[in-house]
Chain A
Amino acid sequence: AQKITQTQPGMFVQEKEAVTLDCTYDTSDPSYGLFWYKQPSSGEMIFLIYQGSYDQQNATEGRYSLNFQKARKSANLVISASQLGDSAMYFCAMREGGSGYSTLTFGKGTMLLVSP
């Protein structure tokens, strides 16, 4: 089974609107971390936001927030007030604590296009 599933290959949004990118995960480890990375056309992976499995509140970083629903094993990324520069690939990733080190398992990504 896939550990990280991103069901939206592509998403379109108009500038200044909010958009939600879906991510579901599969783990039996009670200790894990969830990450979102952005990959613009330049290719570099840019860290956006982190949510730990023990965190009581949803993570927020500026215009990015994470809608963490632990029971449903989902960690959706919400981008408020989209900007043209948000057009990029977005990857959800997970680190499982029981492995003893911090390798990330990535989903296949969602391409976000922001139009004027």
Chain B
Amino acid sequence: GAGVSQSPSNKVTEKGKDVELRCDPISGHTALYWYRQSLGQGLEFLIYFQGNSAPDKSGLPSDRFSAERTGGSVSTLTIQRTQQEDSAVYLCASSLAAPTGRLAGGNTRNEQFFGPGTRLTVL
């Protein structure tokens, strides 16, 4: 079956322009996550969706970043007025419904499946 897909695979833009990054999760996965990976670094959490709602936006680095998800499927991450420090690989992941409750983390594998990422370069 199809995995998580992301588009575009590469995006080069000029400082100050807006960009939109798209994520198409695995069919049936209600949870969707955006991460950012700067060169040689680990993954930094940006935002999480459960269905169309975003219970946690705490990782968004500034108000220039926003994301939406429609129809419980495709998600778009928008970066307005891009800056050079926004250059990174943006990774999207999806999973089955997120486990809830205090025991969930230690009892439920529910791994995240990642897309190939979008490499954003801001000149």
Q: How far is the CA of A4 from the CA of B99 in the complex (A)?
A: 21
Query: Which chain B residues in 72-106 approach chain A with CB under 8 Å?
Result: 89, 91, 93, 95, 98-106
The residue that A101 contacts in the complex, of B89, B100, B103, B114, with Cβ under 8 A, is B100
Q: Number of A-B pairs whose CB atoms are under 8 Å? A: 103
Q: A44-B115, A102-B98, A105-B45 are in contact. Are A33 and B91 (CB under 8 A)?
A: no
The answer on a CB contact under 8 Å between A99 and B105 is yes
The answer on a CB contact under 8 Å between B113 and A97 is no
* B115 cross-chain contacts in A, Cβ below 8 A: 44
The answer on a CB contact under 8 Å between A95 and B105 is yes
Chain B: minimal CB distance from A81 (Å): 24
Q: How far is the CA of A13 from the CA of B56 in the complex (A)?
A: 40
Chain B: minimal CB distance from A113 (Å): 15
Query: Which chain A residues in 88-109 approach chain B with CB under 8 Å?
Result: 91, 93, 95-109
Chain B: minimal CB distance from A40 (Å): 11
Chain A: minimal CB distance from B54 (Å): 11
Chain B residues packing against A (C-beta within 8 Å): 31, 33, 35, 41-45, 48, 50, 55-56, 89, 91, 93, 95, 98-117, 119
Classify the interface of chain B: helix, strand, loop or mixed.
mixed
Closest B residue to A45 by beta carbon equals: B114
Closest A residue to B105 by beta carbon equals: A97
Interface size class of A (residues with CB under 8 A): 35 or more
The answer on a CB contact under 8 Å between A102 and B114 is no
The answer on a CB contact under 8 Å between A102 and B110 is yes
The answer on a CB contact under 8 Å between A102 and B43 is no
The answer on a CB contact under 8 Å between B107 and A31 is yes
Q: How far is the CA of A45 from the CA of B116 in the complex (A)?
A: 8
Q: How far is the CA of A18 from the CA of B31 in the complex (A)?
A: 36
The residue that B41 contacts in the complex, of A30, A32, A99, A108, with Cβ under 8 A, is A108
Q: A43-B89, A45-B91 are in contact. Are A97 and B56 (CB under 8 A)?
A: no
The answer on a CB contact under 8 Å between A43 and B45 is no
